[in-house]
Amino acid sequence: MSYRMYQRREEIRRRLESEGRVLARELALVYGVSQETIRKDFEDLSGIEGIERFHGGLKKDNHRMAGYHYQYRQSVSVHVDEKKRIAFKAFQLIEEGDWVYLDGGTTVSYLFNHLALRKGVTFITPNLILLMRYLTEDLEAVFKKQEHRLIFVGGEISPNIYTTHGVHFNKGLEDFNFDKIFFSVDGIDLKGGMTNSDEIPYEIIQQVRGRAKEKILLVDHSKFGGVGQRIAMQFKDLDCLITDERLQTPWLKLMKTHGIAYIKA
């Protein structure tokens, strides 16, 4: 596969993730190629779980999309602006002296963009991306200036989601309780609840959620309507939802029923 073809297909995948559906005739004009070329791209992309082909185009199936195993490298390149806005709103909830757990989601990783807004926060995480940011982006200096601490929880490494997990991770959590945990899920749905498809993030949140005073969910609009196989948490146990999605009446009623704070990013 040529680099140009790879780049075009990656752009089509991102467009599909953002818009929900794409048409061959429109993309042929965008890229200056034939519809036959675009159809070959569609044939390749339709092999990805969560992408469905129809006559003349591709569409995203949110319920199937939540079924594929989470991949950090796939997630990090989509809805970046939305995730950054969500992370900014989230960081404003942190108070000086808090002990904060950060999970392995890509949205959560952007909280480190705002370290200068608070002092004296202890961050506990299994997130390898946050660890690498600390080591490679000179965040040690920021941590020292703001009197923050970073505690990395070790364990077995999962290359798909860039986080540690397993028996040693569970053991490492035993000495901690948290003021707040910030986490993400694969899908959120009125009937299906907050769900994960991959077993590892599901198991991690089960270990963490009972140790927190406040549980704060960070999800962008693409997660709404997605339903995975494992219920990560009941709505009655959630304290706050931060999203770029403008919630409609059914969601607002659910938030009120369970006393969940809703913050629009």
Chain segment 208-239, per-residue pLDDT in tens? 999 999 999 999 988 898 888 889 999 999 99
How far apart CA 50 and CA 48 sit, in angstroms, is 6
Split at pLDDT 50, 70, 90, the class of 119 is very high
Split at pLDDT 50, 70, 90, the class of 159 is low
Sign of CA dihedral 248, 253, 256, 260: negative
Do residue 13 and residue 103 come from a single domain? no
Comparing 6-15, 67-76, 96-105, the range with the smallest average pLDDT is 67-76
Q: Which of 12, 32, 60 is the last residue of a domain?
A: 60
| Maximum Cα–Cα distance across the chain | 60
> 66 in a domain, yes or no?
no
3-class SS of residue 16? helix
State the total domains in the chain.
2
Strand (E) or helix (H) holding 258 = helix 249-258
Give the pLDDT confidence score for residue 199 in this predicted structure: 86
Chain segment 136-151, per-residue pLDDT in tens? 888 999 999 999 999 9
Do residue 30 and residue 89 come from a single domain? no
Q: Residue 1 pLDDT > 90, yes or no? A: no
> 184 in a domain, yes or no?
yes
How far apart CA 127 and CA 157 sit, in angstroms, is 10
> 71 in a domain, yes or no?
no
Split at pLDDT 50, 70, 90, the class of 77 is low
**What value does the mean pLDDT take over residues 27-36?**
92
Do residue 110 and residue 168 come from a single domain? yes
The parent domain of residue 95 ranges over: 79-264
Give the pLDDT confidence score for residue 250 in this predicted structure: 94
How far apart CA 249 and CA 153 sit, in angstroms, is 40
Split at pLDDT 50, 70, 90, the class of 65 is very low
pTM > 0.75 = no
Of 189 and 79, the one with more pLDDT: 189
Token pair of 230 as six digits: 């494992």
Q: Quote the mean pLDDT of the chain.
A: 87
How far apart CA 74 and CA 55 sit, in angstroms, is 26
Do residue 250 and residue 143 come from a single domain? yes
> 143 in a domain, yes or no?
yes
Residue 158 near residue 142, CB atoms below 8 Å: no
Give the pLDDT confidence score for residue 54 in this predicted structure: 85
Chain segment 32-59, per-residue pLDDT in tens? 999 999 998 888 887 665 688 888 898 8
Q: Residue 120 pLDDT > 50, yes or no? A: yes
Question: In one letter, which amino acid is 142?
Answer: V
Residue 177 near residue 212, CB atoms below 8 Å: yes
